């Protein structure tokens, strides 16, 4: 895709950093560069919560009034706990929020938002395929996830978190993304 | 709000306040942030603990965009009246005296001012030409004011305070903004800004503004003849080069003119001429390039360079063209979980071209003054970051005084979430200006018998004057023996949340100055080569010159209170007290310099009330009071500003502002004998404004 000037995910960045540390010499290297900073994922969790506010699901996708909006996390791990804590007690569209970790497509029918962290690419691929026939807001971090039809991708740019939106993919599953959200996106693919 | 890294690891340094994320949060708690705010958070924090204003071991105050907009103020110095502890006096329609913690004047020389990291402190007279320090006020993100020394990070002349004016990022100023208005004193003004995306990862904004302002009053019926106007354009472009690198390029250019009533000395009898409408033209521009790269969490490096050109000159008279080149490198890294380290290198070259006239002349018309600098600072966090020590120093080499160092040690204690205590000891220097080094300013030509009236000590010179029958040209002359003024400052502070509706911030200081400037008589000078002095009847020349023969102890306290009486009513207020105790070295007589003891209001207080009314109306009221300033023969005075605004639609705001509403308005400052300028009085003013953001 021509619009992608930000190739490479966080890991390749870390590799480059490691190389810089070894070769560079001049600059002091950080004692430990952690692959998953909790700050980064706290931020991403807040973004997810905000995405949900600016996306409209078709009426039948959300279940009866009072049913929660379900955020599904591909894979399990520390991010699950973090998401659980952050979403507790919050509401979107007058509904509570539930966080679930899923690993296979059979539970996908309950999900409204699907978030695939970078290191879950393999696990996420079949889930993403199934999600294409449902009104699920798919959010990922890797190029492969986005290229395969994910709706939103996080991008680390200039030290800040940005996101790209594939508006076409959203419309094919009857998700309406508010113009407010599109305005803030780095790249919108129509 | 963010002076986070501020002091400590750095007010992030050398003008790099941009290191400060606009939104930082304790414990990485971003709950309640909207998307735009979230997009402002730095993923690789400069420090692992997202630091906020509450974390600075310094007397810091921030004016945010809301404070700026709601004040109704149209100039940067007027905004500074809303900062606790700042001394702001308007001299006339186009000139201000601004400082913190004493020693105020038109060329207040102990306050460093930076706009997006670019120093606007003039090395000519040591001070700030406030009439050309401007930008589109709507695009200012915040004004961070540090009272007290900032030399460790900022270098020379950050003695009594540092002001950082930080504009918004280009990403945050997308779209169109048009504001325009006018009224009685504000004849008319217009600002236009357009922000746009220039590539997938790049944003830019361009702006233009113009204003035309009326004169002040000399007497209620007499114009001060000090009207002015100015136009300005600028841009800021930012690119995310990759995930961890950003490039920012920005620039401004301006052109304007001011009028003023000046009494200038002349080479022939009656030796003085009054020019009721002396015109001064100002032009200038700057370009700034900044590159930042994150090398990982808590590891960021930054390179910044700028070029600045300013030019101002009186019609046919004295003029100055100055060019500044500045380049800095900075690296900020966490060496362990508890130790952050920052270091940097800097180079600056000041070049000046001066055209002399009879009143102001120089023996060094073309000067190039390089400054080399380095700094380092370490910060140790202990007890789960409840206790923090910061130690560092700047090292500088300048042409006038050679090597200077400005160390500081700070400690911050945060026993719980609602209380922060801090203390510091720091050294700062104010280096000589071109004027103190090499510029001659003629004040007046007086008969010999008039000399003792200026200063009794001058009587002793009369027998030594070369011409027994001639009058005497009297003025100031720079000498290269003049040294830096030095400060050792001791500060203590506390800030805390008293209740959910009251936040307090208290700072107290004791400033111990040495080598303060005095102006003293040097032996009679005869220098026929000096411009205009070849007239035979002006062979007698007596000059005062700068020396470092005063020391002083200054102490005071500043209190800032943020009060929220109800959910839609907010008050920001401040009070400060200052006392100066100055002492001349033995054998020195210099009543003028001792005058600084009573040149600052001993007490000042202000309150800015912000009320949100129904139907999208809002009401702002500013009340301020200053104690008398006996050295300037200025009485204590109240003043008030009021702003009412209505926002019928999200895109449109109408506002009506009343300024200087107290009567009768009086002069705020004494006349400046050196430049022969008569200060004028601010009239009441009313203006209306419309702001449109389609």
Model confidence over A47-81: pLDDT tens digits? 999 999 899 999 888 888 888 999 999 988 778 88
DSSP B274-311: EEEEEEEEEEEEEEEEEEEEEEETTEEEEEEEEEEEEE
3-state secondary structure of B418: coil
| Predicted pLDDT at B679 | 81
ipTM above 0.85, yes or no: no
Establish if B254 belongs to a structural domain.
Answer: no
Residue in B65, B73, B151, B63 with CA at minimum distance from that of residue B485: B151
Establish if A95 belongs to a structural domain.
Answer: yes
Asked whether residue A11 carries a pLDDT value surpassing 70, the answer given is: no
For chain B, the straight-line distance linking the first and the last C-alpha, in angstroms and rounded, comes to: 28
Cα–Cα distance list, B173 to A164, A181, B180, B236, B237 (Å): 20, 16, 18, 10, 11
| Predicted pLDDT at B403 | 95
Closest Cα of chain A to B682: distance in Å?
A: 45
Q: Do B42 and A186 touch (CB under 8 A)?
A: no
Residue in B157, B158, B121, B163 with CA at minimum distance from that of residue B142: B163
Which band of pLDDT confidence, cut at 50, 70 and 90, is reported for residue B557? very high
Establish if A152 belongs to a structural domain.
Answer: yes
Cα-Cα-Cα-Cα dihedral of B123, B229, B256, B180, to 10°?
A: 100
Which region among B9-23, B104-118, B398-412, B678-692 has the lowest average model confidence (pLDDT)? B9-23
Q: Do A50 and B36 touch (CB under 8 A)?
A: no
| Predicted pLDDT at A168 | 92
Vertex B215, ends B629 and B122: CA angle to 5°? 65
B484-509 burial code (b ≥16 CB/10 A, e <16): bbbbebebebebbbeeeeebebbbbb
Residues of A within 8 A of B329 (CB-CB) are none
Give the domain range for residue B154.
6-247+260-692
Closest Cα of chain B to A39: distance in Å?
A: 6
Of residues B654 and A19, which shows the higher confidence score? B654
CATH number at residue B229: 2.40.170.20
Establish if B361 belongs to a structural domain.
Answer: yes
Establish if B663 belongs to a structural domain.
Answer: yes
Across the beta sheet with B140-147, the strand order is: B59-64, B140-147, B161-167, B111-115, B118-119
| Predicted pLDDT at A33 | 36
3-state secondary structure of A16: helix
Residues of B within 8 A of A40 (CB-CB) are 43
Residues B373-385 have a mean pLDDT of: 90
Closest Cα of chain B to A45: distance in Å?
A: 10
Cα–Cα distance list, B156 to A92, B102, B372, B472, B585 (Å): 53, 17, 11, 37, 24
Vertex B24, ends B23 and B27: CA angle to 5°? 145
The burial of B656, by beta-carbon neighbours within 10 Å (0-12 exposed, 13-18 middle, 19 or more buried), is given as middle
Interface residues of A toward B, Cβ cutoff 8 Å, are 3, 5-6, 8, 10, 13, 17, 20, 27-31, 33-34, 37-40, 42-43, 46-47, 50, 54, 86, 155-162, 181, 184, 186-187
Ranked by mean pLDDT, which of B37-51, B198-212, B674-688 comes out on top? B198-212
- Measured over the CA atoms of residue B116, residue B94, residue B444 and residue B628, the dihedral's sign is negative
| Predicted pLDDT at B369 | 93
Asked whether residue B188 carries a pLDDT value surpassing 90, the answer given is: yes
| DSSP state at residue B672 | B
Q: Do B243 and A5 touch (CB under 8 A)?
A: no
Closest Cα of chain B to A35: distance in Å?
A: 10
| Predicted pLDDT at B43 | 57
Residues B647-660 have a mean pLDDT of: 94
B192-211 burial code (b ≥16 CB/10 A, e <16): bbbbeeeebbbbbbbbebbb
Secondary structure (H, E, C), B164-193: EEEECCHHHHCEEEEEEEEECCEEEEEEEE
Helix (H) / strand (E) element for A139: namely strand A137-140
Contact (Cβ atoms closer than 8 angstroms) between residue B152 and residue B378: no
CATH number at residue A45: 3.40.50.2300
Establish if A114 belongs to a structural domain.
Answer: yes
- Counting residues of chain A whose pLDDT is more than 70, the rounded percentage is 79
Among B173, B203, B240, the residue to mutate for chain A (most A Cβ within 10 A): B240
| Predicted pLDDT at B17 | 30
Which band of pLDDT confidence, cut at 50, 70 and 90, is reported for residue A10? very low
3-state secondary structure of B562: strand
Residues B109-115 have a mean pLDDT of: 95
Of residues B47 and B179, which shows the higher confidence score? B179
Establish if B253 belongs to a structural domain.
Answer: no
Residues of A within 8 A of B36 (CB-CB) are 184
Closest Cα of chain A to B645: distance in Å?
A: 26
Which region among A1-5, B82-86, B346-350 has the lowest average model confidence (pLDDT)? A1-5
Contact (Cβ atoms closer than 8 angstroms) between residue B76 and residue B94: no
Q: Do B201 and A34 touch (CB under 8 A)?
A: no
Q: Do A43 and B245 touch (CB under 8 A)?
A: no
Residues of A within 8 A of B245 (CB-CB) are 158
Q: Do A28 and B292 touch (CB under 8 A)?
A: no
| Predicted pLDDT at A3 | 37
Asked whether residue B398 carries a pLDDT value surpassing 50, the answer given is: yes
Residues of B within 8 A of A28 (CB-CB) are 299, 331, 333, 335, 341
Among A50, A157, A178, A181, the residue to mutate for chain B (most B Cβ within 10 A): A157
Interface residues of B toward A, Cβ cutoff 8 Å, are 28-31, 33-36, 38-45, 50, 200-201, 238, 240-246, 292, 294-301, 331, 333-336, 341
Give the domain range for residue A53.
38-189
Asked whether residue B613 carries a pLDDT value surpassing 70, the answer given is: yes
Of residues B200 and B661, which shows the higher confidence score? B661
Establish if A27 belongs to a structural domain.
Answer: no
Phi, psi dihedrals of residue A78, rounded to the nearest 5°: -60, -30
Residues of A within 8 A of B331 (CB-CB) are 27-28
Give the nearest chain A residue to B295 (CA atoms).
A17
Residue in B4, B1, B2, B19 with CA at minimum distance from that of residue B344: B19
| Predicted pLDDT at A37 | 56
Residues of A within 8 A of B41 (CB-CB) are 43, 160-161
Q: Do A28 and B299 touch (CB under 8 A)?
A: yes
Q: State the pairing for strand pair B217-219/B360-362.
A: unpaired
Which band of pLDDT confidence, cut at 50, 70 and 90, is reported for residue B675? low
Residues B196-211 have a mean pLDDT of: 92
Q: Which residues does A112 contact at the CB level (< 8 Å), separation at least 6?
A: A52, A57, A61, A62, A69, A70, A71, A135, A136, A137
Asked whether residue A22 carries a pLDDT value surpassing 60, the answer given is: no
Which band of pLDDT confidence, cut at 50, 70 and 90, is reported for residue B8? very low
Establish if A143 belongs to a structural domain.
Answer: yes
Establish if A6 belongs to a structural domain.
Answer: no
Q: Do B244 and A181 touch (CB under 8 A)?
A: no
Determine the Cα–Cα distance for residues A110 and A107; give it in Å rounded to an integer.
6
Give the nearest chain B residue to A4 (CA atoms).
B200
DSSP B571-593: EEEEEEEEEEEEEEPTT---HHH
Closest Cα of chain A to B32: distance in Å?
A: 9
Residues of A within 8 A of B291 (CB-CB) are none
Which region among B5-19, B312-326, B360-374, B398-412 has the lowest average model confidence (pLDDT)? B5-19
- Domain total in chain B: 1
- Domain total in chain A: 1
Tokens found for residue A169: 């993919």
Establish if B1 belongs to a structural domain.
Answer: no
Closest Cα of chain B to A38: distance in Å?
A: 9
Asked whether residue B607 carries a pLDDT value surpassing 90, the answer given is: yes
Asked whether residue B108 carries a pLDDT value surpassing 70, the answer given is: yes
Q: Do A8 and B28 touch (CB under 8 A)?
A: no
- Which member of A34, A162, A187 has the closest CB to residue B39? A162
- Which member of B243, B292, B301 has the closest CB to residue A157? B243
- Which member of B45, B243, B295 has the closest CB to residue A39? B45
Determine the Cα–Cα distance for residues A14 and A40; give it in Å rounded to an integer.
15
Establish if A61 belongs to a structural domain.
Answer: yes
Closest Cα of chain A to B66: distance in Å?
A: 22
Give the nearest chain A residue to B202 (CA atoms).
A186
- Which member of A3, A43, A162 has the closest CB to residue B30? A43
Establish if A69 belongs to a structural domain.
Answer: yes
Provide the mean pLDDT of chain B: 86
Task: Kindly report, residue by residue over A128-160, the tens digit of the pLDDT.
Answer: 998 888 999 999 988 888 888 999 999 877 667
| Predicted pLDDT at B29 | 67
Closest Cα of chain B to A43: distance in Å?
A: 7
Tokens found for residue B258: 């001011």
3-state secondary structure of B49: coil
Residues B263-276 have a mean pLDDT of: 79
| Predicted pLDDT at B1 | 33
Residues of B within 8 A of A42 (CB-CB) are 28-30
Which region among B43-47, B287-291, B327-331 has the lowest average model confidence (pLDDT)? B43-47
Q: Do A156 and B244 touch (CB under 8 A)?
A: yes
Give the nearest chain B residue to A12 (CA atoms).
B243
Which region among A106-120, A154-168, B498-512 has the lowest average model confidence (pLDDT)? A154-168
| DSSP state at residue B42 | B
Which band of pLDDT confidence, cut at 50, 70 and 90, is reported for residue B211? very high
Q: Do A184 and B36 touch (CB under 8 A)?
A: yes
| Predicted pLDDT at A64 | 84
Contact (Cβ atoms closer than 8 angstroms) between residue B393 and residue B152: yes
Which region among B241-245, B595-599, B652-656 has the lowest average model confidence (pLDDT)? B241-245
| Predicted pLDDT at B296 | 76
Tokens found for residue B133: 């320090």
Q: Do B245 and A17 touch (CB under 8 A)?
A: no
- Measured over the CA atoms of residue B670, residue B676, residue B677 and residue B679, the dihedral's sign is positive
Closest Cα of chain B to A157: distance in Å?
A: 4
Which band of pLDDT confidence, cut at 50, 70 and 90, is reported for residue A32? very low
Tokens found for residue A49: 């919560």
Asked whether residue B97 carries a pLDDT value surpassing 80, the answer given is: yes
- Measured over the CA atoms of residue B525, residue B526, residue B530 and residue B531, the dihedral's sign is positive
Closest Cα of chain B to A141: distance in Å?
A: 13
């Amino acid at each position: 895709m021509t619009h992608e000037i930000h190739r490479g995910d966080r890991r390749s960045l870390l590799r480059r950093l490691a190389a810089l540390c070894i070769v560079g010499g001049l600059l002091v290297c950080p004692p430990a560069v952690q692959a998953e900073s909790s700050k980064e994922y706290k931020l991403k969790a807040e973004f997810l919560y905000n995405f949900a506010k600016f996306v409209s699901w078709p009426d039948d996708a959300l279940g009866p009034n009072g049913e929660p909006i379900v955020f599904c996390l591909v894979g399990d791990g520390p991010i699950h706990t973090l998401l659980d804590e952050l979403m507790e007690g919050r509401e979107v569209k007058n509904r509570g929020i539930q966080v679930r970790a899923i690993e296979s497509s059979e539970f996908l029918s309950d999900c409204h938002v699907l978030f695939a962290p970078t290191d879950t690419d393999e696990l996420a691929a079949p889930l993403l395929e199934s999600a294409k026939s449902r009104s699920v807001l798919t959010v990922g971090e890797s190029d492969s996830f986005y290229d395969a039809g994910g709706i939103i991708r996080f991008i680390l740019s200039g030290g800040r978190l940005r996101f790209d939106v594939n508006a076409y993919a959203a419309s094919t599953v009857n998700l309406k993304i508010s113009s407010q959200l599109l305005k803030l996106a780095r790249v919108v693919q129509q | 709000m963010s002076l986070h890294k501020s002091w400590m690891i750095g007010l992030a340094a050398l003008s790099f306040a941009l290191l400060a994320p606009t939104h930082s949060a304790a414990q990485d708690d971003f709950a309640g942030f909207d998307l735009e705010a979230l997009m402002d958070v730095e993923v690789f924090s400069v420090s692992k603990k997202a630091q906020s204003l509450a974390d600075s071991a310094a007397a810091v105050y921030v004016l945010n965009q809301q404070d700026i907009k709601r004040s109704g103020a149209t100039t940067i110095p007027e905004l500074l009246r809303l900062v606790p502890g700042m001394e702001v006096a308007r001299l006339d329609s186009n000139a201000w005296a601004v400082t913190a913690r004493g020693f105020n004047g038109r060329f207040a020389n102990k306050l460093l001012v930076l706009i997006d990291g670019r120093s606007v402190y003039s090395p000519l007279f040591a001070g700030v030409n406030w009439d050309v320090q401007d930008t589109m006020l709507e695009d200012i993100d915040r004004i961070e004011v540090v009272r007290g020394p900032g030399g460790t990070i900022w270098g020379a002349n950050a003695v009594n305070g540092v002001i950082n004016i930080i504009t918004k990022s280009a990403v945050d100023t997308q779209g169109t903004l048009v504001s325009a208005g006018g009224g009685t004193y504000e004849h008319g003004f217009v600002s236009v800004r357009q922000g746009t995306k220039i590539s997938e990862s790049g944003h830019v904004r361009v702006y233009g503004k113009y204003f035309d302002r009326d004169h002040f009053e000399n007497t209620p019926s007499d114009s001060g003849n000090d009207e002015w106007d100015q136009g300005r354009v600028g841009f800021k472009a930012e690119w995310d080069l990759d995930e961890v690198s950003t490039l920012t390029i920005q620039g401004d250019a301006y052109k304007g003119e001011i009028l003023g009533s000046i009494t200038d000395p002349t080479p022939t009898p009656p030796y003085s001429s009054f020019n009721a409408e002396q015109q001064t033209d100002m032009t200038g521009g700057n370009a700034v390039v900044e590159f930042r790269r994150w090398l990982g969490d808590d590891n960021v490096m930054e390179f910044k360079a700028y070029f600045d050109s300013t030019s101002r000159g009186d019609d046919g008279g004295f003029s100055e063209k100055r060019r500044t080149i500045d380049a800095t490198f900075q690296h900020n890294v966490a060496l362990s979980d508890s130790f952050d380290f920052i270091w940097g290198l800097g180079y600056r070259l000041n070049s000046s071209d001066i055209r002399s006239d009879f009143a102001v002349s120089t023996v060094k018309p073309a000067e190039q003054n390089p400054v080399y600098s380095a700094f380092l600072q370490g910060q140790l966090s202990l007890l789960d970051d409840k206790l923090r020590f910061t130690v560092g120093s700047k090292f500088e080499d300048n042409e006038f005084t050679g090597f200077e160092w400005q160390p500081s040690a700070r400690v911050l204690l945060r026993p719980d979430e609602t209380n922060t205590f801090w203390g510091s000891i720091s050294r700062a220097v104010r280096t000589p200006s071109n004027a103190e080094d090499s510029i001659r300013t003629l004040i007046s030509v007086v008969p010999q018998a008039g000399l003792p009236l200026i200063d009794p000590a001058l009587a002793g010179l009369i027998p030594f004057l070369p011409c027994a029958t001639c009058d005497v040209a009297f003025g100031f002359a720079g000498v290269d023996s003049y040294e830096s003024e030095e400060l050792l400052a001791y500060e203590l502070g506390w800030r805390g949340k008293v209740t959910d509706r009251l936040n307090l911030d208290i700072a107290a200081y004791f400033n111990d100055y040495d080598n303060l400037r005095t102006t003293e008589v040097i032996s009679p000078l005869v220098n026929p080569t000096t411009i205009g002095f070849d007239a035979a009847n002006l062979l007698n020349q007596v000059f005062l010159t700068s020396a470092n023969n005063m020391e002083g102890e200054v102490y005071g306290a500043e209190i800032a209170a943020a009060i929220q009486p109800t959910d839609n009513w907010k008050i920001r207020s401040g009070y400060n007290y200052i006392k100066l105790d100055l002492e001349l070295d033995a054998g020195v007589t210099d009543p003028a310099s001792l005058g600084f003891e009573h040149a600052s209001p001993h007490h000042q207080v202000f309150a800015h009330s912000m009320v949100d009314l129904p139907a999208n109306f809002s009401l702002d009221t500013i009340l301020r009071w200053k104690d008398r300033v006996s050295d300037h023969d200025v009485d204590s005075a109240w003043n008030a500003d009021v702003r009412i605004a209505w926002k019928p639609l999200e895109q449109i705001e109408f506002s009506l502002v009343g300024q200087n509403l107290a009567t009768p308005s009086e002069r705020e400052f004494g006349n400046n004998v050196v430049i022969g300028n008569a200060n004028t009085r601010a009239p009441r003013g009313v203006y209306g404004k419309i702001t449109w953001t389609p």
